[in-house]
A and B are shown apart, each in its own frame.
Chain A
């Protein structure tokens, strides 16, 4: 397969009179970490939801691994190897941490009538799920009910589940927010490690230090449009980006 792993072209969605995403285009190359930045309400999470199929775009095109996925249902897109986390964590609260990952491990089975009826409590499934928990550092909490975990651990659980689903592309929606310093450092190492394995990552991040440190390239959004695109260094120097975040020099701050 040649060409970029993910290609978003002229993507737009309208909620009533609001164009939440308005003609956004970008590409994501195989093995790249792309950071999606922008002030609150810029349309980053909506873009994620468009790519993962939660919303259907009003117009535009999304290509993933060579095929068009805009208009497909979320479960169909997941089955193509796209895993995602949620900004507002969505654990299966009454299942254990291990069972949460086992659900995600079944991604290849839910679409096929025959493999639906295979047991999930096998040693093989368990070991594979434990390995994922090991990677995100939750192995010792495997038997705990997910509803009892604090936010930091839930974010890691989300990543473990997304890893089980996304063998091609990972969408991380503010996976670092609300975490302590050492947790952030661990997750950064994890994301680098994930990329080193050949996975591609698209991340939304508010923590500038994390976003700049991790991303190979950055796309900045504002008011549903793409404002700038480039390397972290170039973005940090970009007048328009500075203006979007800090306001124009000499102009009173609108509030």
Chain B
């Protein structure tokens, strides 16, 4: 088995609402994620899956429990060290893309590199955009790109610093079926190339493309199963394309 990237023990996160009612967003969750995995964290809206992902991705801090990321205990780290982990080890993809407006695709992808010590920023960013199939859209502003393309820019941004793990929070939530499949296909491709990917989604059919499905309800893990026969997004895309061709020929 590959080495453990994430080792979470008894993570809990509690929100106080108006001081009276407490909401337990993450309830005593323990899990491990290994290098090279393609994991879906599934659950209904409000199940705590996003909070869990934010904690695993060092964007948020748990109220209790420990998190060991790539060998180091996150709870003991200060702001500067956390920033370095987010910069070097983690890539994020968000539902709403979170690209900087009026900023070219290239510059958006350069963003994580700016906060690293790396040189050749522009070349690295170009390579990442090429990897997501947008080599010809370097100078386009987000407003000039389709939603699917915008999400691919965001994936390039997540990839550019060559992180250990990519967290994607509902990456297909704002996309149509076809673009969703394209994005999932891209994730599969990246995973096949060895990248660890954690995908948070509430859509069962998106989760079927992954190789491990963790289901969350009320902040607790209710199931954690391997998916031995992940659906191949590329095949599905071909099916859609064929159906379209058939439709046109009618």
Do A and B come together as binding partners? Answer: no
What residues of chain B have their CB less than 8 Å away from a CB belonging to chain A?
none
What residues of chain A have their CB less than 8 Å away from a CB belonging to chain B?
none
